[in-house]
Amino acid sequence: MINQGRCCMLRSSFMVSTLFVLAMGVFVPAARAQTASNQPAVSKKPATTKPKKVEFVTIQKGTLPVILSAPHGGELDLPGSLPRDRKSGGSRFQTVRDVRSSELAEAIANQLEAEFGQRPYLVILRVSRKYLDANREADYAYESPEAQVVYDEYHGAIEQFKKSILEKHGSGLLIDVHGQSKEKGAVYRGTRNGLTISALNRRVGKDAASLYSKVMEDAGLRVVPPSTAAPNQEVEYNGGEIVVAHGSQNPGGIDCIQMEFGADLRSVAALPQTAKDFVKGLSPFLKEHYGVSEQRQAAAGGTSPAGR
């Protein structure tokens, strides 16, 4: 009886164990299946999103006979490029950034559009000046082929826009926007003492630089040299490579004026008002000397980018 009881107990234990194992065998795969169903599906398709192309030069077409250039506000590194060499630059070597000069050029462009219903052409360098200075002759502007490509793109855009302006309007004006900290509340005018606005001087038959200073003064800006100064009084910040290379003293050139805005005029708080005051002065000058009239509807394609 004892042995028979033990056999019954063993059979019972075996059956319980077997049922437990079978139950677990059914439960575990089900649990695994449930866990797997909660995992996100892994896509095997290749990625289609391309990395964003870095814009080293902002280039925008316009419809006004005006080009705004801003070469010294950039902050971007230029991959593969060597930093500029002080030895080759000599006393003209500078790497300091004209803080918020790019933003000021863009604000002026927006204000001109609000005034005339048309946009100016816009060329802005986004690369740090330690790699490239677009306002220097090529021999002093860069040290590597990578920087030369960007330099040529910058000046090439201006060349293209000059040609378009002369074909459509017969004359035009380039404003080269810079920053200075010597007189923080003033703007320095640079035309190489009238050289880079030679065509305008011929049209008006007098010192056009003083006329320009006068309209800016009437708008509330303090200009150096002032309108009351004798001709040929530009001593400091009197114009760099951009206005010299593209000025109207050259065949195929247009009138060019360099403007060095003081640090106080480029502060975050002051910048919008500076743009308004500048356009307030520029507006009558453009109407009188460049035939600009108000067109409240922007011309088609006026804000489309012409380059990367």
Query: pLDDT-based confidence at 186, cuts 50/70/90?
Result: very high
β strands within the chain, DSSP E: 57-60, 66-70, 121-125, 173-180, 186-190, 222-224, 255-262
Q: What whole-number distance in Å separates Cα of residue 36 and Cα of residue 263?
A: 62
Give SS3 for 205.
Answer: coil
104-147 residue pLDDT tens:
999 999 999 999 999 999 999 999 999 999 999 998 999 999 99
β strands within 54-120, DSSP E: 57-60, 66-70
CA angle 208, 298, 301 (to 5 degrees): 100
CB 296 within 8 A of CB 68: no
User: What number is the average pLDDT over the span 53-70?
Assistant: 94
Among 131, 130, 123, 136, smallest CA distance to 165 is for 123
Q: What whole-number distance in Å separates Cα of residue 207 and Cα of residue 128?
A: 36
Query: pLDDT-based confidence at 184, cuts 50/70/90?
Result: very high
What burial letters (b/e) apply to 279-288, b meaning 16+ CB within 10 Å?
bbbbbebbee
99-113 residue pLDDT tens:
999 999 999 999 999
User: What number is the average pLDDT over the span 160-184?
Assistant: 97
Among 221, 210, 213, smallest CA distance to 104 is for 221
Domains along the chain with CATH numbers: 57-290 (3.40.630.40)
Token look-up 């290749």 returns 46
Query: pLDDT-based confidence at 172, cuts 50/70/90?
Result: very high
52: buried, middle or exposed (CB in 10 Å: 19+, 13-18, 0-12)? exposed
Least trusted range by pLDDT, from 38-47, 211-220, 257-266:
38-47
Token code pair at residue 248? 């109207």
Query: Which pTM does this prediction carry?
Result: 0.79
How long, in residues, is the chain? Answer: 308
Q: What whole-number distance in Å separates Cα of residue 14 and Cα of residue 161?
A: 94
Residues with Cβ within 8 Å of residue 194, at least 6 apart in sequence: 201, 207, 208, 209, 231, 232
Say what the pLDDT of residue 114 is.
97
pLDDT at 94 over 50: yes
94: buried, middle or exposed (CB in 10 Å: 19+, 13-18, 0-12)? middle
What burial letters (b/e) apply to 213-228, b meaning 16+ CB within 10 Å?
bbbbbebebebbbebe
Say what the pLDDT of residue 203 is.
95
Say what the pLDDT of residue 298 is.
39
